[in-house]
Amino acid sequence: MMDSDATHHITPCRDEFKDYSLVNGTICLGDKSTVNQIGVSTVVFKSPQGYEITLSNVLHIPAVKMRFMSTCALTQKGASVTFDERAFKIVHKGRCIAIGYLEDNLHWLAAAGSSLNAHIGGATTSLHIWHQRMSHMSHAALKAHGPSAIKGIDFGSSTMDIPKVCHGCELGKSTHKPFPSSVKTTS
């Protein structure tokens, strides 16, 4: 989400950082609540327009539920951010490097072209992590169809270790007894 009040870029996702420094601190959010910061680093991602964007001094705050891009931090690095009634765009050195849209009075970066496995530094992702990312698809089906169905998925260098029990699958298959019958009805 593009945030014109944020002083720094923020993400709850540890795996997005290029390098990482532990930093303990407390951050005050817009609603006057406070959350703990546990790290800071650089995040690099590719915009849907195909440009590689490097965000520096990104705060790692696991308690937030979404990523925030700071308009102020972008403009301090020489980018311009322009808004209209339905969208916004980020321009750097005369080129539009990213566009976003307005939804429910919030500005969101259009990231539909992002790859599910956009990791920095060529990190490999295990088959089990892909199993979790793909809504607990069977490991066999994922091995058979994943590389042809998902751009960027590569099991060649991934670990094929599969745990005996997947906690998410176990919870998904949990059953409970039906509610007891009742003579009461509601309208």
Residue 116's pLDDT is 36
Residue 48's pLDDT is 77
Query: How many angstroms separate the CA atoms of 179 and 182, rounded?
Result: 9
Cα 24–chain centre separation: 22
pLDDT digits (tens), the chain, 187 positions: 999 889 999 999 888 888 888 988 898 888 888 999 999 999 988 887 788 888 999 999 999 888 999 999 999 999 999 998 888 899 999 888 888 888 888 888 866 444 333 433 344 566 777 777 777 888 888 878 877 777 666 666 445 667 777 777 776 776 777 777 778 887 7
Which fold, 2-109? Answer: Cathepsin D, subunit A; domain 1 (2.40.70)
Query: How many angstroms separate the CA atoms of 86 and 63, rounded?
Result: 29
Query: How many angstroms separate the CA atoms of 46 and 67, rounded?
Result: 15
**Domain residues of the chain, as ranges?**
2-109, 123-172
Query: How many angstroms separate the CA atoms of 158 and 155, rounded?
Result: 5
SS3 call for 72: helix
